[in-house]
Amino acid sequence: MHYLKDEERSFVRDLKVADILREYKMGELKGITKNGGVAFFCGDGDIDVRNYHEKTISRRPHGQSLFGGVLIYSRFYRGYKGSFAADSIENALLGLNAKETKTAFLYPHYPCGMATYFEHTIEEVFLMAADTHLRFISEFGFTPDKTHSFFHVKRLNKGAREEQNTYIFDVKKYLALIGAPIITLGQAYILKLAA
Ligand SMILES: [Zn+2]
């Protein structure tokens, strides 16, 4: 079982201070989603985020649960495979159509078994989560107001008890903080890939 290391905890703390990770206020997204939206989870079993989603967003989530979760859609992911990402988003879009909803909830998390497998750091996981968020808007046809990114972390608290927290992740603020090169494209913006 993996938990946040000390330096990762302080990284998360810094993002909270910068208001990039924000506590979800119960009910703040209530009513904004038609038919529950579609949630994108990681299938590695390192999190109980589905339970969180059921409590806060929708009691009957429509979900896509793949190993790597939202990371599979980022070109920075070491396990990235374009054809798999294309087929997976096509599958999700079919589900969205079938359930008559246009809302996506993205749930990256850390520690993530798949990220660890590919030796990604927590900073890289945040970057990949941001990249995926942008691709959903710039390439996959989602609108900014219907694309919601969260971030789930698991840590041991002072009493050595497991604590799981899910935050709203402000992607735009994060990219500004790290000075990521962004191309603006109408309402959307894309992360420029390093040459
Ligand atoms: Zn994972």
- Give the model confidence (pLDDT) of 97-146 as tens digits: 998 999 999 999 999 999 999 999 999 999 999 999 999 998 999 998 89
Length of the chain: 195
Mean pLDDT of 154-166: 83
- Ligand 1 center–CA 31 separation, angstroms: 28
| Contacts for 99 with CB less than 8 Å, ≥ 6 apart | 35, 36, 38, 62
- Ligand 1 center–CA 42 separation, angstroms: 5
- Ligand 1 center–CA 108 separation, angstroms: 7
Residue with tokens 């900014």: 144
Residues 108 and 136: their CA atoms lie apart, in Å, by: 14
Residues 24 and 128: their CA atoms lie apart, in Å, by: 21
* Residue 150 pLDDT > 70: yes
- Ligand 1 center–CA 152 separation, angstroms: 10
Instruction: Tell me which of 61-65, 158-162, 170-174 is least confident.
Output: 158-162
- Which ranges constitute the DSSP H helices of the chain? 6-17, 49-56, 82-98, 113-117, 122-138, 171-178
pTM of the model: 0.89
Instruction: Tell me which of 28-32, 39-43, 81-85, 153-157 is least confident.
Output: 28-32
- Ligand 1 center–CA 43 separation, angstroms: 6
- Ligand 1 center–CA 158 separation, angstroms: 24
Identify the structural domains of the chain with CATH numbers, from first to last: 6-21+32-191 (3.40.1050)
Is residue 54 within 8 Å of 62, Cβ to Cβ? no
| Contacts for 25 with CB less than 8 Å, ≥ 6 apart | none
- For residue 31, name the pLDDT band (cuts at 50, 70, 90): low
**Which residues is 169 bridged to in the sheet?**
21
Residues 195 and 191: their CA atoms lie apart, in Å, by: 12
